[in-house]
Amino acid sequence: MKKLINRVEDVVREATEGLVAAHADVLRWSPDPLFVYRAGAPRSGKVAVISGGGSGHEPLHSGYVGVGMLDAACPGEVFTSPVPDQMVAAAKTVDGGAGVLFIVKNYTGDVMNFELAEEMLRDEGLSVRSVLVADDVAVEHSTYTVGRRGVGGTVFVEKIAGAAAEDGATLEEVARLAQKASERVRSMGLALSSCTVPARGVPTFELADDEIELGIGIHGEPGRERIKWEMADALTDRLLQPILEELALRSGDRVIAMVNGMGGTPLMELYIVYRRLHARLSALGVSIDRRLVGNYITSLEMQGVSLTLLKADDELLHLWDRPVRTPALRWGDGR
């Protein structure tokens, strides 16, 4: 294992410390319990939007803390859920009196710990709601989940909910919009190589030089099938087809699209995938109204790609376009 780390047990804390130091204009942090929160929090009268999950998926989630997105994020150890004490402390720090929305990826540990935190906060009198993200079309159940995994669609739900909260929406309205985004977003990914969790020191799985894992999870979970290598257009089609079927896209529909690298994939290759995605959707009469190409939810140094499509309407596009200022996303007044 060759990684730019010091002690394995310090990886998450030191990475978080470095993130906050690099983006001190928008971030603050608590070392114990560990969480990241936006500078200037809490904001009186604003719904607090909080997410979190295992580390190793950067920039998710801490990279999306800031104006127009998350108020706080709770990083767990690599590929391990944060604990309820982190969520409770984060919520108390950023609660502005208008309630708290948790955005939770559908992994068993995340779901259980956020539910416990929600109960603890309600016992203390806070208004708390949760929205689950389960956008992966690859498998119905996986190593870590009951039901579909929450993957790239999490970025979209966090952006939509964060924009609504920034604009002063109530907790019920922010939760409705987050749920709407969650229901209209779908993703699927593939791996060309495994990744190595620092605490293990060896690859999570093995792929032969001519093999690809189709439908991989962001923790290295098995996908739909292991196939022989194919060219980029064919692989893009394999990822896109199940998403098209799930969203029932037809001519005249609009989408927000994300071509996401898994951590070790060059931008050159991601743009080759986007080229095919654009061509396929254009041929169907589906308009890509907004797009992201790059590393937005990763799996350490895994080589691979995922596609995410959100079936958009005027309401969701308006919220997507609202200003955002975080380490990983910045546009509008947040530029």
Does 278 participate in catalysis according to the annotation?
no
Q: How far apart are CA 309 and CA 188, in angstroms?
A: 10
User: CB under 8 Å to 80, separation ≥6 — which residues?
Assistant: 54, 55, 109
Judged on CB neighbours under 10 Å (0-12, 13-18, 19+), 2 is exposed
| Set 23, 57, 141, 318: catalytic member | 57
Q: How far apart are CA 52 and CA 68, in angstroms?
A: 17
DSSP state of 136: B
Does 219 participate in catalysis according to the annotation?
yes
| Set 23, 61, 141, 219: catalytic member | 219
Q: How far apart are CA 74 and CA 236, in angstroms?
A: 33
Amino acid identity at 282: S
Residue 114 in tokens = 């956020």
| Strand ranges, E, within the chain | 27-31, 34-38, 48-55, 72-78, 100-105, 128-133, 185-191, 211-214, 225-228, 254-261, 287-294, 304-312, 324-325, 330-331
Nearest to 157 by CA among 61, 44, 19: 61
Residue 219: HSE in the Cβ half-sphere, 13 Å Cα cutoff: 20
Q: How far apart are CA 233 and CA 231, in angstroms?
A: 6
Nearest to 178 by CA among 219, 142, 217, 134: 134
Residues marked as catalytic: 57, 219
